[in-house]
Structure 1
Amino acid sequence: MKIIEFNERGQQVESESRSITPSSGTSFLAKSPSIPSRPKVSVSAGVELHMFQTGTLRTRKHNIKMNQGEEMWEIPVPWYLLKHPMGNVVIDGGNAAEVAIDKRAHWGDVVDTYDPHMGLKENCVEQCRSVGVEPEDVRYVVMSHLHLDHTGAVGRFRNAQHIVQRAEYDYAFNPQWFAAGGYIRADFDRPGLNWKFLGGEMTDNFDLFGDDVIKMIFTPGHSPGHQSFLITLPKTGPILLTIDAAYTMDHFENKALPGFLTSAQDAANSVAKLRRIAERTGAKVIAGHDMRQWEGMLHAPKSFYA
């Protein structure tokens, strides 16, 4: 196996792999990030953002908005496909396909708190096919973080390089007790995957294609290595995918904290950072699990943003 890195000219190059051994003993490819700025070009024509949903989660309100009630809420589980002339990008992937088959067997007792409802065809592989993208056509799988409702794409696209924050990858293998339920190791502990690790503030605003279409923004707090995404489209303009840095627009507007986080201080700082970006760019802000907002979006496979 090879690791793809970026040289000083921003070009992708192959280097020899080296293995690390997580606590399970499974070998993973790893390399500390050293990613220079890449040459800037104009936003590419022919770029499309497709917004999919792998069902819903049913949970108590206080699990979404800290200390705010016991009533049941139903929230969407989104993921995103970015079609780009330089390669297709899957962002997260929602729930794993196994959840639709036997959710308790795959997630365990987590389903007593976050109850997934998902159809057999509501997985990222089948949904990619619905817009003409086969598994071998995906170049990158980009992970906001490795929580169980985001890891549906890991290992499903055999030609894809997987990009994640190194802090998130390491934490997922050894989470603190209060966060352990958020990680399903079977989803990401997969041998032979081609991983690329980003380095927090050192690689902040990493521009995947060098054309400003997709930038990765380090936003810890919900998890130690969470990242959000600034997508810039030729016609629509900038879209800010907060992912779980802001579950809902109430989080983004400083009216609530998420019900699940590893650092309240980091979470608040990350929202402040995203608010500055939105103000500077004029981006449309899309929260991670806001049902009211989600219902008003253009949904794949019927529609997309260009």
Structure 2
Amino acid sequence: MSEIRLYLFQSGTQRCKYHDIRMNQGEGRSYEIPVPWFLLTHPRGHVIIDGGLAAEGLANPHAYWGDAVDHYQPFMTEEQGCVAQLGSLGIQPEDIRYVLLSHLHSDHTGAIGRFPNALHIVQRREYDYAFKPDWFAAGAYCRNDFARPNLNWQLLDEDAFDLYGDGTLRCISTPGHSPGHQSFLITLASGLSFTLAIDAAYTLDHFYDRALPGFMTSASEAARSVAKLRALTEQHAAKPIPGHDPDVWPQFTLAPGWYE
């Protein structure tokens, strides 16, 4: 049995409008999307990727997340928070060495500050933008999550950062959805590979250029990033996992199951 395993989790769902996900489509109808996050266990230290929504926001969503919840309404229980779900696997907060962040939108920052031994890793461009976002993007960022005191940060200025130095987890710069967005290429000991597109491609429609996302800071960067991910996915014979696809997400094995 390999010590390297990929676990897929979900911290509830968000209800939005169809056009928030696929631009100019859906005629205003509601659309409920999963909020995924990931755990990779590794002999050199376990890593959480993103972490979903922050569980403490559930008590008063408007106070915690602001008006963003009027557009992306969270449906989640405290038991679906990342710490509680890891506990069900027997993993304690002290066991986590890294919190790796695709970007700093609030549905991806639920793991920040919860793991006392963790190094938090994000692209520098994303970190800087989160504190001074453009007006149209400000609602996506929740300082209650990422502006906590006494956090240990590593800010990346590079593409293809290899977390363990063994090819298991590589960070792929994919700006467009946000200025410093990154996706991840996971290669397990069996040879099984996954492309965690995260919000570079909400759905497979975005991954295969059948739709534009409803939110992005740069359409041209977003398009180039998806093309880059497709090429890497083909090169590594990887399985793409889009960021918020309610049709595709149920096809994967979720925790307590795993891939190795």
How high is the TM-score relative to the length of structure 2? 0.98
**Partners of 1:133 and 1:195 in 2: CA distance:** 22
Residue 91 in structure 1 maps to residue 20 in structure 2: no
Identity, in percent, stands at 58
Residue 72 in structure 1 maps to residue 30 in structure 2: yes
Quote the offset at 1:237 in angstroms. Answer: 1.1
Amino acid in the other structure paired with 2:69 = V
SS in 2 for 1:298: coil
**Structure 2 unaligned regions, length at least 5:** none
How high is the TM-score relative to the length of structure 1? 0.83
Aligned to 2:258: 304
Q: Which has the higher helix share?
A: 2
Verify the 8 A CA contact 2:78 2:84 in the aligned structure 1: no
Quote the offset at 1:236 in angstroms. Answer: 5.5
Verify the 8 A CA contact 2:175 2:182 in the aligned structure 1: yes
**Partners of 2:145 and 2:131 in 1: CA distance:** 11
Aligned to 1:109: 67
Quote the offset at 1:129 in angstroms. Answer: 1.0
**Partners of 1:99 and 1:79 in 2: CA distance:** 17
Residue 189 in structure 1 maps to residue 189 in structure 2: no
1:10-62: CA deviations, max 9, x gaps? xxxxxxxxxxxxxxxxxxxxxxxxxxxxxxxxxx9420011000000001000
Aligned to 1:257: 212
Residue 173 in structure 1 maps to residue 131 in structure 2: yes
Verify the 8 A CA contact 1:99 1:116 in the aligned structure 2: no
Of residues 198, 219, 223 in structure 1, which corresponds to 2:174? Answer: 219
Amino acid in the other structure paired with 2:226 = V
Change (3 A) 1:244 1:163: same
SS in 1 for 2:213: coil
Amino acid in the other structure paired with 1:304 = W
Quote the offset at 1:106 in angstroms. Answer: 1.1
Quote the offset at 1:103 in angstroms. Answer: 1.5
Task: Compare CA radii of gyration and give the structure with the larger one.
Answer: 1
Quote the offset at 1:133 in angstroms. Answer: 1.0
Aligned to 1:58: 15
Quote the offset at 1:183 in angstroms. Answer: 0.3
Aligned to 2:190: 235
Quote the offset at 1:99 in angstroms. Answer: 2.5
Aligned to 2:58: 100
Verify the 8 A CA contact 2:55 2:77 in the aligned structure 1: no
SS in 2 for 1:149: helix
**Partners of 1:80 and 1:130 in 2: CA distance:** 15
Of residues 61, 83, 101 in structure 2, which corresponds to 1:125? Answer: 83
Runs of 4+ in 1 over 6 A off after TM superposition: none
Residue 148 in structure 1 maps to residue 102 in structure 2: no
Of residues 285, 288, 300 in structure 1, which corresponds to 2:243? Answer: 288
Quote the offset at 1:114 in angstroms. Answer: 0.5
**Partners of 1:108 and 1:45 in 2: CA distance:** 43
**Partners of 2:95 and 2:160 in 1: CA distance:** 25
Amino acid in the other structure paired with 2:231 = R
